[in-house]
Structure 1
Amino acid sequence: MTTSPPAGPATPGIGTRTLVFALVREDGTVDAGELYAVAEALGMTDQQVRLCLKRLVAEGRFTQEGRGRKARLLATADPTGAVAPDVEYVRHAYRQDRGLAPWDGVWHLFAFAVPETARQARDALRDALLHLGAAPLQGGLYVSANAIGDIVEAHARHLGILASLTRLTSRDLRVGEERDPARLAALLWPLDSIAERHEALAALATDRTARLSAPGRLNGTERLTYAMELAASFTAAMEPDPLLPPELLPQPWPGTRARALAAECWDALGGEDPDDAAGRPRLFRLYDEALTGPAPADPQTQPQPQPQPR
């Protein structure tokens, strides 16, 4: 019997619903016994799980065969969940880390003045800009260091307010008297809090990789629990990260180290049973594609962050 090490770094909270979604296998099923075991390891009660499953079935998101821990759930759609990676967004981050997405020095600006009668659309466009990593300069004016213009325009078109959107680019952005790009980035984005999230991811990934390489084989529940914790921590670090080009960030940047450690940990988590890929949650494949999938052949091609509901 292997003695577990101390709890280690804290992990972001994982909701019961998110856990269910994250444990969906490639065939669209969830093994209830596996679900209850991982939920218990994460500090959830059986009652929490039962109530969550009842709601998900009532909503039509899953059908259920059997009862209790012997039940089998079948997803009726693609409920990958909040810890699934946006593959192209993550690939872009790793391309930046490898120096394959240099900044061209261009700032991308977006301005809009939407009347109060279209407040819902205005708020949705603002949220899309923030989700894509743009920072507010002043009321109705946002800036990004990434070329997200086509995505923003598509959102505005879908919302019916494209006529209210103005796009422009500049190599000479000033806020007050500040015009240095790196100092502007520090002024416009909360880099300290973003760095703290990456440091937390780095600590968790380091701890879990050490456990995975320690003598003694971890059981399936422990490996799945580590995977859920790593995925949640990775999402918590990446979600608020605007993926600023390295030229605009303090060096060394904690995000680069954290993503490298996360990739190492994910490789250790997924590499023990290659013949059992079909029985693992599809989350493993999605992270494998995001972290180790092929990068575009042209180094000048920079895949941009894509909006994804979280």
Structure 2
Amino acid sequence: MASPFDIEEIYPDEGPAPRLPRRQAGTSPQSVAVTLLTDYTLRTRAALPSAAIVALLGEAGVTSAGARTAISRLARRGVLEGARQGRNSFYRLSRAAAADLSAGGNWITASTAETQAWDGCWTIVAFSLPQDHGTQRRALRGQLRWLGFAPLYDGLWISPYELAGPARARLAQLALGAVTVFRGRQDALGAIGQRAPVDAWDVDAISGHYEAFLRRWTPLVSRLGSVDGAAAVRARTEVMDTYRRFPTLDPRLPLELLPAGWPRRAARDLFAAVYDGLAEAAETHVRAVVARFADPVPPGIRAHTTADMLAGVREEGPCA
């Protein structure tokens, strides 16, 4: 099965990495389609009429032609499974894609929780690759970023957290014989100038992303009860599409290294308030849209929640 996502963003998982859609200006029709199906069918892999998926994507601003193309491409890549019932086509998430998306949802919620206690040590990855090994260098740097590392200097990357065994093995494969990993404390050099390890990250830029998220979504909280129908579905899709990027933006630096009032927790609480607060209204609307194209409505349309994301999901009911 081809990966359901492009290469720009992935979840740093212990096994094969589930991938997020490429970050770009706007949101691609394929990304919206995957988000919608995940938000309302992940636990059951319920099959929805293709016409209903097109209609829901239309409410998100995707043209009918763009929606059909997105569905077709996702099916070719193995993200969706199709079936015919009479004249109607139905699609559902493939078993492999659902497993990846479940792992990804867990990563989103777990990685934006409060950080673990820090022992004051840094993990340092040093590597040296010839300039003509450009592809290998890019792959190694990309893997390090996905693991939460940042470059203190060109060939010296750091993280406050220990590097798990599988990740060590992966780095060794990417830079065979040219990478060294060690862990230790920073040594104060007195009057000799030195760059603080935390300066490897643009802390102000990370904070700016959180603050923009808070400005965008805080006003909605006071009127969640009045948001329903297509507006509820659109809001949940948009808040998810924005919030899921924080694991790749924020490496969960220890709070003692960050400015007071770091907004990670506030953003996480706001996401939960919006995403969970609109779940019932959005689920009702999705059911209503599907009912226009299927009688009876397929069972298993259920809004995903942040609790589901954190716990991971097990399929409910028969999913042959």
TM norm. shorter chain > 0.5: yes
Residue number in structure 2 paired with 1:261: 270
Q: CA RMSD in A?
A: 3.6
The equivalent of 1:177 in structure 2 is 193
Letter in 2 for 1:144: S
Is 1:204 equivalent to 2:216 in the alignment? yes
Poorly superposed stretches of 4+, deviation over 4 Å: 80-84, 115-119, 173-176, 271-277
Contact 1:22 1:228 in 2 (8 A): yes
Paired position in structure 2 for 1:297:
none
Unpaired runs of at least 5, structure 2: 1-24, 288-298, 313-320
Alpha-carbon separation, structure 2, partners of 1:155 and 1:189: 23
Report the Cα offset of residue 265 of structure 1: 1.8
Q: Secondary structure at the match of 1:169?
A: strand
Q: How far apart are the structure 1 equivalents of 2:27 and 2:124?
A: 35
Q: How far off its partner does 1:229 sit?
A: 0.7
SS at match of 1:278: coil
Bigger mean CA deviation after superposition, 132-141 or 25-34 = 25-34
- Aligned amino acid, residue 124 of structure 2: L
Q: Which has the higher contact order (CA 8 A, sep 6+)?
A: 1
Residue 45 of structure 1 aligns to which amino acid in structure 2?
A: T
Q: 1:209 to 1:41 in 2, by over 3 A?
A: farther
Give the residue type in structure 1 aligned to 2:106: V
The 1-side partners of 2:50 and 2:133 are apart by 45
What is aligned with 2:94? 76
Provide the residue aligned with 1:234 in structure 2.
Answer: 243
Note the residue ranges of structure 1 that are not aligned, 5 or more in a row.
1-11, 295-310
Q: Partners of 1:90 and 1:156 in 2: how far apart?
A: 25
Q: Does 1:218 align with 2:228?
A: yes
**Which amino acid letter does the alignment assign opposite residue 51 of structure 1?**
T
Q: Are 2:81 and 2:92, in contact at CA under 8 Å, matched by a contact in 1?
A: yes
Identity over aligned pairs, percent: 24
- Indicate whether 1:148 and 2:148 are aligned: no
Instruction: Write the distance in 1 (CA, Å) between the matches of 2:108 and 2:78.
Output: 30
Where 1:111 maps in the other structure, the secondary structure is strand
Task: Tell me which residue corresponds to 2:200.
Answer: 188
1:156-171 to structure 2, matched below 5 A, reads 156-157=171-172, 159=173, 161-171=175-185
Residue 31 of structure 2 corresponds to 18
What one-letter code is carried by the residue in structure 2 that aligns with 1:156? L
Question: Once the 2 structures are TM-superposed, how far is the Cα of residue 166 of structure 1 from its aligned partner?
Answer: 0.8
Aligned partners of 2:103, 2:232: CA distance in 1, in Å? Answer: 17
Q: What are the residue-to-residue correspondences of 1:1-310 with 2, within 5 Å?
A: 13-24=26-37, 25=41, 26-28=43-45, 29-65=47-83, 71-79=89-97, 85-88=104-107, 90-96=109-115, 101-115=116-130, 119-157=134-172, 159=173, 161-172=175-186, 177-178=193-194, 184-185=197-198, 187-214=199-226, 218-219=228-229, 221-270=230-279, 278-280=300-302, 284-285=304-305, 287-290=306-309, 293=311
The alignment partner of 2:125 has SS state of strand
Q: Deviations over 1:100-155 (max 9, x none)?
A: x2221111100112346765344222111112221112222101112235353121
Q: Is the 8 A contact 2:83 2:90 kept in 1?
A: yes
Single out whichever of 112-121 and 260-269 deviates more from structure 2: 112-121
Matched residue type, 2:300: A
Aligned to 1:124, the other structure's residue is in SS state: helix
The 1:261/1:75 distance shift into structure 2, 3 A limit, reads closer
Cα 1:54–1:235 shift into 2, 3 Å: same
What TM-score, normalized to structure 2?
0.70
Q: Counterparts of 1:151 and 1:209 in 2: how far apart (Å)? A: 41
Q: Deviations over 1:42-81 (max 9, x none)?
A: 22211111222232334444343469x9642133343358
- Determine the C-alpha separation between the residues in 2 that align with 1:173 and 1:266: 44
